[in-house]
Structure 1
């Protein structure tokens, strides 16, 4: 048998990277209003003043991270031309599955001198980590913009969002200035913050709404011109990918994935051009991948709960009450080496959030005086996808 890769040709793609999630476009399309709000929110940095805090809201795939990267790169370029601007440092941390201590420790370790020992994982508390952070900020001076992606998944976000914006006013730092940029997939995240945190932040809120089909079409046209060889992608394929994504979540990431996977389908069929039929064939694969990514984006205990309900569904035991979910959830969490949440109420709160996010169906039951009123839950997605995704996640944690 000859080399299985021998003779393989790529007649479809010119630059496939343009259709990957890691690609950062030089120009952001269809987010002009959000960029304008962002620009005004951070303009004080150019004049050496303390920056405003900014909170971005919107579901995944709506451009929050891409716009943030674009804005911060543009700001850094402009700062370097301004005598009145302080030196600008940006720090980006994904908060999913992290505690405040882990986040502050990570910030400290990015600020420490190259020859310094890392801040220890154990033996010191959150207060010690904040103290070291303030020392390092003052050592460097300048303006520090701290980007906290998936801030809604941070354990005890109140502490972080109360401490950092008040650091200068409370005398913890004198030579440095700090601005917070929070990115949340949860539109209601702010309502969960304590009143004192809301008063402290005084942030600019920028909401990212879903794209419509025309907007997605503009984005896809730009990507297709770069990604595909000449005449290798029909306009009908672009229109269908935009329409399917707009009908679903209004998600640019999903639309771009449809275009990329459609190209892969066409390549496998040895076609010369991506058509709307190839986009249709790509739809199921993209939906499965999108669900897997959404599961990965949830907190670890949300994932354990989804995994628990998936097992119950495999055993034909759903819809199921929260008490039965809680009993099996404890075993699932323990088997993965984590301490389970200790109260039924905490599980019920997570179930409510997962229902709101569309992972679960919830059924209200009323058995009158004898049984009372309660909810039962079942998955609103394929149990196999949940179990498969969780297995992959645990394998990478080993």
Structure 2
């Protein structure tokens, strides 16, 4: 009797991991200007001087994290050859879903001696965590770069960005230098900071713009040469994946996804080459997968509100006002055994957030003094994706 893998034959891949999100390329392509700006901002470290603060801006998939990983590795290697440079410590943290206390506590625990008890989760405040952080920085000495990803997701970001850069000036530390590398998907993030924080940072800003089709084709060619066996991937397929991604988001991650999923389609159907047709089929699969992940990333009640709007779409009752959405939302929340949000304002806040994230289209209505001014909402994606994703989530909760 044959097993489930008995008919698996040869693969078209030489090294499929090259097409995954976690792959860190040896060479960074099409980001020479950003690397030059990054290098200039870090150069003081090579002479034992206090580092500049650096902020990277750009949408997801534009190379911010890959370039940062590359630059940190290059910096560490170069520091080893420079007698004037202090020892450099790189601390990476993601702010998504974390409070300021959680961020500082995690940094403290990374710096504590191996046999020390971790900083407690309860009983002490954020100020205590900062005090311990400063104590550990001074104990270790050297230059410390804090690479803070999704920094715009941190609610009390002003405190973090005031405390760390001024730690030495405020006499919290004397044996160490501190620098911040902030990474944000929000180009307007700096505008939200307090005036005193803006004055304190004096940072170098590096903006990552979307790739064009030619740049994406260069990146995909590099990946394809490593990922596939010789002659497997058609040049036209690489060009198509690059063109589709450039037309949509200018996003390298999306372009690589098109190529990976297209090649999976080819392999699954037993074809020897990856063609334009496979890339076209991948386009729909990738878009659907990204939307599903985006839905799963929303809070519980935001998902219930999306499900409610999808239900309204099923009955052709969109666009709808927030009160109509609230009525269906309450029914949806009840059906999942959850207590609905009690105020219309809470529902309206979620609707506004979902509209900004691209899930919804908002129409402003103005009927003058008789009817007043209000918003109506409708979906900006297929309702079936929402309902199927929500059903899948419900099955596993």
Report matched runs for 1:82-231 at 5 Å: 82-231=82-231
Indicate conservation of the 8 Å contact 2:90/2:146, yes or no. yes
The answer for the alignment partner of 2:281 in structure 1 is 281
Instruction: Give secondary structure in 2 for the equivalent of 1:42.
Output: helix
- Point out where structure 2 has 5 or more consecutive residues left out of the alignment: none
Q: Secondary structure of 2:257's match? A: helix
Q: 1:197 to 1:354 in 2, by over 3 A?
A: farther
Displacement of 1:36 in angstroms is 0.6
CA distance in 2, matches of 1:178, 1:329: 49
Distance 1:294 1:177, change over 3 A: farther
Q: Does the aligned pair in 2 maintain the 1:304–1:329 contact within 8 Å?
A: no
Task: Tell me how far 1:371 sits from its aligned partner.
Answer: 3.5
Q: Aligned equivalents of 1:97 and 1:6: distance in 2? A: 44
- 1:305 to 2:302 alignment: yes
Map of 2:253 onto structure 1 = 253
Counting only pairs closer than 5 Å after superposition, residues 326-345 of structure 1 correspond to structure 2 as 328=329, 344=345
Deviation at 1:380, TM superposition (A): 1.4
Secondary structure of residue in 2 paired with 1:55? strand
Distance 1:182 1:385, change over 3 A: farther
- What does 1:8-19 align with in structure 2 at a 5 Å threshold? 8-19=8-19
Residue 46 of structure 1 and its aligned partner are, at CA, apart by 0.8
Q: Deviations over 1:175-226 (max 9, x none)?
A: 1111111111111111111111111111111111111100000000110010
CA 63–3 in structure 1, closer or farther in 2 if over 3 Å, else same: same
> What is the deviation of 1:321?
3.8
Tell me if the contact between 2:304 and 2:332 (Cα under 8 Å) persists in the aligned partners.
no
Q: Check conservation: 1:307, 1:386, Cα contact below 8 A.
A: no
Deviates more, 1:23-32 or 1:122-131: 122-131
How many residues align? The count is 392
Question: Quick one: distance in 2 between partners of 1:341 and 1:191?
Answer: 33
2:366 and 2:102 mapped to 1: Cα distance?
Answer: 44
Cross-structure match for 1:314: 311
1:322 Cα deviation from its structure 2 partner: 4.5
Contact 1:165 / 1:180 at 8 angstroms: preserved in 2?
A: yes
- Which digits, 9 at most, give the CA deviation of each residue in 1:36-85, with x for residues without a partner? 11111111111111111111111110000000000000001101111111
Which aligned runs of 4 or more in structure 1 are off by greater than 6 angstroms? 335-343, 390-396
2:166 & 2:69 partners in 1: Cα distance?
25
SS in 2 for 1:374: strand
> Quick one: distance in 2 between partners of 1:294 and 1:26?
30
Q: Which position in structure 1 is the counterpart of 2:62?
A: 62
With over 3 angstroms needed to count, the CA separation of the structure-2 counterparts of 1:115 and 1:80, relative to structure 1, is same
User: What residue is the counterpart of 2:355 in the other structure?
Assistant: 355
Question: CA shift at 1:27, angstroms?
Answer: 0.3
Confirm or deny: 8 A CA contact 1:62 1:251 kept in the other structure: yes
Larger mean CA deviation between 167-176 and 286-295 belongs to: 286-295
Checking the alignment, whether the CA contact within 8 Å between 2:307 and 2:390 is kept in structure 1 is no
Q: Name the CA shift for 1:192/1:67 in 2 (closer, same or farther; >3 Å).
A: same
The verdict on how the C-alpha distance between 1:76 and 1:245 changes in structure 2, with shifts beyond 3 A counting, is same
TM-score of the superposed pair, with normalisation by structure 1: 0.90
What is the SS of the residue equivalent to 2:92? strand
Q: Confirm or deny: 8 A CA contact 1:15 1:228 kept in the other structure.
A: yes
Q: Deviation of residue 387 (structure 1)? A: 5.6
Who wins on radius of gyration, i.e. which is larger?
2
For each residue in 1:217-241, what CA deviation from the matched residue of structure 2 results, as whole angstroms up to 9, or x when unmatched? Answer: 0000110010000110100110110
C-alpha spacing 1:165/1:354, structure 2 compared with 1 (3 Å): farther
1:367 and 1:373 in contact (8 A); partners too: yes
